Amino acid sequence: MTQSLNYFKETPSQTAGPYVHIGCTPNFSGLNGVFSEDLGVKILNDQAEGTRITVRGVVYDGKGAPIKDALVEIWQADAKGLFNSPSEIRGAADPNFSGWGRCPGEMESGEFVFETIKPGVVPFKDGRPMAPHITFWIVARGINIGLHTRMYFPEEIDANAADPILSRIDHKSRVPTLIATQNGSEYRFDIHLQGDNETVFFDI
Amino acid sequence: MSNEKRAQGAFFQRDRNWHAPAYTPTYKTSVLRSPQKALLSLDNSISEMTGPVFGHNQIGELDNDLILNFSQNGELPVGERIIVHGRVMDERGLPVKGALLELWQANAGGRYRHKKETYLAPLDPNFGGCGRTITDDNGDYHFRTIKPGPYPWPNGVNDWRPAHIHFSVFGDGFAQRLITQMYFEGDPLIWKCPIVQTIPSEEAVRQLIAPLDMGNTIPMDSLAYKFDIVLRGRRSTMFDNRREGN
Ligand SMILES: [Fe+2]
């Protein structure tokens, strides 16, 4: 006999279902008058430091159809690479930038849009720099457990090549699934749940 | 160990055999929405160990009271009045304070207040179906609501969802992000539900079934159900020398 570890099991995930918007973005779904505003709508205010960018995309299913009931959340560092989080111990992040955004897919097109800033560099646990990136979390009807992934920036060619996470991907042909396309300050990051372009999702 | 130190380590890896797999063909929508390639397994970086904080100032006074937060002209929603309460803790049993909980549910007849909802059960003019709250220093939370009804859904020819409340949970790190559903003790529909059956073990399903909590009922007013939520625990940081050279 040994002592018990006395750890609990994590509560099992269940799908967000078709009506996740009622709970997470009720004003968006037309359920007005309960919450003053939906959380995660605004990531920054006018005083936030950094380069303004827009990130758009669509989550596609295995037949290439846009998913219209998805909810997408992002989490990222500020322009200096610091997180606005109690767990951030490296310094004080920009108080004008929350780093967290939440957007439901538009009900007809499925497109999500985030108005944010380009994040700075965050160190990996061994001190090597990670290329600038935005963490994504995706839930929808039919997704049993939320999907984690990252968006990287196409102009960061050298930093991406040295990134400790991207370099962990065995099939180099899959790396581009994590890199947005750019048009000025607009970035496009489509997410494919299946198929040849299936996005690399993380068990992290 | 102080809470401050505890909020810094990497999270325990997720037990993917405890959770539902992505591909669960008896829940048909998962067929085209399940990644088919292997996930990339990684230890957390700072990007996942950190997470946003939510303040009580963002939450309204009635946000956790679904009996009153959509009531029109002081009229109350139809249905069994219940309290849903519990504790958010991590896998080490430590309370998660400041966790954001958001919930949504159907009304007593099993109807959601949503544009795309077509079930013939009527809307309740006094029930919206959404609530949110933040856990206190002990990780405790409470909501007041009405018990949702079961409802049929298009999957098999005759599939019904057991009565359930959807929960979205935000701990203190983004890697803990979780959405789940709470079921009610004694509901025979639980074990017939294709969405419940995506979870591999009966033991794990039981973790989603809230028992009736007579001790916390309010006599002549409301029944109570207790629903504890466990988020991923953090590793101790004692021999971690990461974050040097920043
Ligand atoms: Fe539901």
Q: Does the CB of B46 have a partner CB in chain A at under 8 Å?
A: yes
Do A16 and B232 make contact, defined as CB atoms within 8 angstroms? no
User: Model confidence over A102-116: pLDDT tens digits?
Assistant: 999 998 999 999 999
Residue B173 to residue B10: CA distance in whole angstroms: 9
Residue B118 is which amino acid?
Answer: T
Amino acid occupying residue B204: A
Predicted pLDDT at B4: 52
Catalytic site includes residue B119: no
**Three-state SS at A39:** coil
For residue A79, what are the contacts with CB-CB under 8 A and spacing of at least 6? A48, A49, A50, A51, A94, A97, A117, A118, A119, A120
Which tokens is A122 given? 């965050």
Tell me the three state secondary structure of residue B11.
strand
Task: Determine the pLDDT at residue B240.
Answer: 61
Show me where the domains of chain B are located. Answer: 61-148+155-166+174-232
Structure tokens of B195? 């969405």
pLDDT tens digit at each of 246 positions of chain B = 344 555 778 999 999 999 999 999 999 999 999 999 999 999 999 999 999 999 888 899 999 999 999 999 999 999 999 999 999 999 999 999 999 999 999 999 999 999 888 899 999 999 999 999 999 999 999 999 999 999 999 999 999 999 999 999 999 999 999 999 999 999 999 999 999 999 999 999 999 999 999 999 999 999 999 999 999 999 987 666 554 443
Ligand 1 centroid from CA B148, angstroms: 9
Rounded distance between C-alpha atoms, residue B136 and residue B125, angstroms: 32
The token duo for B6 is 């505890």
- Has B27 been annotated as catalytic? no
Which of A14, A26, A126 minimises the CB distance to B179? A14
Mean pLDDT for A130-157 is: 98
**Mean pLDDT of all residues in A113-142:** 97
Interface of B with A in 164-203 (CB under 8 A): 166, 168-169, 172-175, 177-181, 195-196, 198-199
Please report which helix (H) or strand (E) contains residue B86, including its range. strand B81-90
**Mutation site for A-interface testing, chosen from B13, B29, B49, B53 by largest number of A Cβ within 10 Å:** B29
- Amino acid identity, position A59: V
A17 CB within 8 Å of a chain B CB: yes
Residue B244 is predicted with a pLDDT of 46
Could you tell me which residues come within 8 angstroms of residue A102 by beta carbon, excluding any fewer than 6 positions away?
Answer: A24, A25, A38, A39, A40, A41, A71, A72, A73, A74
Nearest CA in chain B to A83: B50
Q: Does B37 touch chain A (CB under 8 A)?
A: yes
Model confidence at A163: pLDDT above 50: yes
Q: What is the per-residue pLDDT across A52-102, written as a single tens digit (0 to 9) for each?
A: 999 999 999 999 999 999 999 999 999 999 999 999 999 999 999 999 999
Known catalytic residue at B112:
yes
HSE of A85, CA atoms in CB hemisphere, 13 A: 27
The pLDDT of residue B8 is 78
Query: Would you state the structure tokens that stand for residue B234, as one six-digit string?
Result: 């953090």
**What per-residue confidence (pLDDT) applies to B128?**
97
pLDDT on residue B236: 82
Over range A163-189, report the average pLDDT.
Answer: 97
A186/B34 Cα distance (integer angstroms) = 28
* DSSP letter assigned to residue B155: S
Question: Is the Cβ pair B179, A15 closer than 8 Å?
Answer: yes
Q: What is the ipTM of this complex?
A: 0.96
The answer to whether B229 and B95 have CB atoms below 8 angstroms apart is no
Residues ≥6 apart with Cβ < 8 Å to B147: B79, B80, B82, B108, B163, B184, B223
Active site residue B151: yes
- Has B164 been annotated as catalytic? yes
Find the mean pLDDT for residues A163-192: 97
What does pLDDT average to over chain A?
96
Confidence (pLDDT) at B245:
42
A169: pLDDT confidence band, cut at 50, 70 and 90? very high
CB proximity under 8 Å: B 94-113 to A = 100, 102-104, 112-113
* pLDDT for position B241: 52
Which among B27, B141, B151, B183 is annotated as catalytic? B151
What value does the CA radius of gyration of chain A take, rounded to a whole number of Å?
Answer: 18
Give yes or no for residue A139 having a pLDDT over 70.
yes
The CATH topology of domain B61-148+155-166+174-232 is Protocatechuate 3,4-Dioxygenase, subunit A (2.60.130)
Work out the number of other CB atoms within 10 angstroms of the CB of residue B12. 18
Residue type, A115: E
Please state the pTM of the whole predicted model: 0.96
CA distance B145 to A21: 18
Confirm or reject contact between A63 and chain B (CB < 8 A). Answer: yes
CA separation for the pair B190, B185 (Å, rounded): 9
